[in-house]
Structure 1
């Protein structure tokens, strides 16, 4: 039986089981919290706790099986007697990014992680799978879960802050449920958080393909106040306590902002129906981050907040890879160029193996020419000035002005180039100047433009279908 046939069989089986269950009453939401630790070479998993969250499962009963093949990891909920997969989702982890940094070659670290699924009514086995060198998933950890066990925590109580309905398009189980969490907002800034959340979601749903699918989404907002405005930025000596623990300087990158406190994040998020989360942190300094299936972040006060919100959500929502390659990152890359699992970048650029070959018009050269040398020459000077501004801790207005000049140059250069709107294989992507290719010259995953390329738009639509169809 082919892989597609297996996936279809699992989907139909899952539809029958979970569809029948939800027709009677939605199951509760079960969350498995665990610790993922190790270094660049080794990793291990350990149970932290199992939680029944206070709200019913918000997911689509008709699509329990993930067939999108996204993520560096996959988790499955399995019937231990028959081996049937009852539920699955792809995801990526902060640990997976950290182990590619220089620090991971020197010491061990532990990260909190979670997987969520419809609470079963009988014992199940939860399996964590990881991609191998062939991009195939294999089991790296499993745990048997008995829903009647006494040590399962059963959460009750009310939301720690007012739950906002930013967009309400129907029952959670029929929609993609996006939760916007605020961090670094004081109680007096509650109205600012709501305005930021509405402004940025409005921009998201003005951008294709989210614009055409806006009715498939619900958007919720939740903000637990903090004593001071803003979040920590250690590189400048700024430290703030915040409910979620969001901070800049993750892995030594001054613009990379995440929270490493998974428990704090989950304890707040569990009071809203959600499948995807974006954290808005109340700072003006450019920054953000996004992990597929975990969350994304964006500096709500930045002049570039709209771009950050959408770009980072692309990572979190659809597992889109970064297509840029001239900005410094914390990750280390070797000389090899393995084929990425992300849908929008590739190492295989010939007409027969190209991932998006069905979108390439006859006669388009592969690789596809673009003004790469001129672009890179400008970027070298631009990145030097950018680093100098940050090192001198210059006002954010100077950085914003630099960003505006860079965008104007890039837009003009690429809009006038041959193949400016073509789908092909443009060398330079995935943080590498050579050996990796993107599908179009411009995309919000490549530069600070305002649109997704055709390949990224298709990848986003596939995830929307997984949750709302």
Structure 2
């Protein structure tokens, strides 16, 4: 695993050396708002708005490579030479919905917003989905001129914020903690949970090791009503980013469909990753790669869940628990290897954590051996064909102290990907 990490960073360093950020981009952000629409048989992607923000807060190295595929990717090309100059993998609620029976019966649309560096010259932006067999399918191509008068220039900060964790590098990984369901007189309570989020994140060894590479701000977005919408209880509230439980009729799945509103609340605040802190004691949450994570603060399981959900949104880690009755499950095609680093179908196990196994470890590994074997290939749910590294990991259960070695390596790889050229 360590050898593969070293090879990866030697590779991306070589690729990145051929491209300097300033060759193609300015120190500003271009926000692209899209509508993803369709059904199980037909998907379309439409650009709805473009916004220029004051500063770029994302990575400045390794722009045209990515350590994970995601369920889709946004790719930016220079129209002058057709060179790939930026890529970002992502997940989306739309793609999750496409796996459900509902998507076979009707059309729906979902918002999605992406942040890319603001280009100096005209670009082409491609958005693609990966099919079940991991084929790259382009669904949108947009030609963008940075001089376009219809790019809205946003200059104002929409909400007050405080830095709750300072970095010690020039270009840190920037996270925004967003208040959701907190009325104005509850913002002090939100700040308490913001500090608890930082504390809980850096209790985990891999994040603690690299805590100097993170800058975290708490954004004081005020909700007109206190609490979170719970449709199954007929509770609908007017909150800052309009989140709700019961996503896809799963009572604990907490998301927001209003990503444009979310990013508007964050205009000109230093962020690239988003953790939404929801003011409720109802158990639940959600995390979507390079979109956001969402966690309830007043529930007794807040501490482990907020880190678990960030594992999804930051590193693209998969859930390691599988329930037969869940509405949404990992429906990976078992004839291929899933892209997530912490699950395997054993089709290409050598590309995952096989090198971490002791020679005597059986594959698959029986659950009865969990006490004597730190890392194996344990079946996630009997008969589902997906295997996980351990039975005690932050991505599987709440009552454990940390991520397993496989997930820790995946997080470390992502942190180094964002910061590999930086020095303290």
Provide the TM-score with structure 1 as the length reference.
0.83
After TM superposition, give the deviation of residue 347 of structure 1 in Å. Answer: 0.6
CA deviation after TM superposition for structure 1 residue 225, in Å: 1.3
CA distance in 2, matches of 1:418, 1:280: 34
2:406 to 437, 455, 468: 455
Q: Deviations over 1:325-357 (max 9, x none)?
A: 13632226779524211110011178x646211
1:13 to partner: Cα distance: 2.3
Change (3 A) 1:420 1:313: farther
Assess if the C-alpha contact under 8 Å between 2:12 and 2:62 holds in 1.
no
CA–CA distance in 2 between the matches of 1:298 and 1:468?
Answer: 26
DSSP-derived class of the 1:156 partner: coil
Distance 1:292 1:420 in 2: 33
1:69 Cα deviation (Å)?
2.3
If each structure's helix is expressed as a fraction of its own residues, which one has the higher value?
1
Change (3 A) 1:206 1:151: same
Superimposed CA distance per residue, residues 119-149 of structure 1 (whole angstroms, 9 cap, x where no aligned partner): 0111001111222344243422210000001
Give how far 1:78 is off.
0.3
Alpha-carbon displacement from aligned partner over 1:6-37 (angstroms, at most 9, x marks no partner): 866642222x2x15678xxx521001111110
Partner of 1:369: 366
Q: C-alpha displacement at 1:157, in angstroms?
A: 1.9
Match of residue 44 from structure 2: 44
Structure 1 position 11 matched with structure 2 position 16: yes
Unaligned runs of 5+ in 2: 1-7
User: Is residue 411 of structure 2 the alignment partner of residue 427 of structure 1?
Assistant: no
CA distance in structure 2 between the partners assigned to 1:252 and 1:322 by the alignment: 19
SS of the equivalent of 2:17 reads: helix
- Of the three residues 256, 261, 280, the one matched with 1:259 is 256
- Pairwise CA RMSD of aligned residues? 2.3
For 2:144, the equivalent position in structure 1 comes to 145
Structure 1, unaligned runs of 5 or more: 372-416
| Cα-to-partner distance string for 1:54-113 (whole Å, 9 max, x where unaligned) | x30012322212320231111111012312111111111110111112211111000111
Match of 1:56 in 2: 55
Please show how residues 104-253 of structure 1 align to structure 2 within 5 Å.
Answer: 104-160=103-159, 162-170=160-168, 174-253=171-250
Does structure 2 retain, via aligned residues, the 8 Å contact 1:359–1:423? yes
Q: Does structure 1 conserve the Cα–Cα contact (< 8 Å) formed by 2:177 and 2:275?
A: yes
Among 345, 348, 353, the residue aligned to 1:347:
345
The TM-score normalised by the length of structure 2 is 0.91
Instruction: Tell whether the 8 Å contact from 2:155 to 2:268 is kept in structure 1 after alignment.
Output: no
* Corresponding residue pairs, total: 411
Equivalent residue number for residue 395 of structure 2: 445
Which residue does the alignment assign to 1:468?
419
| Cα offset, 1:453, TM superposition | 0.9
Q: CA deviation at 1:191?
A: 0.5
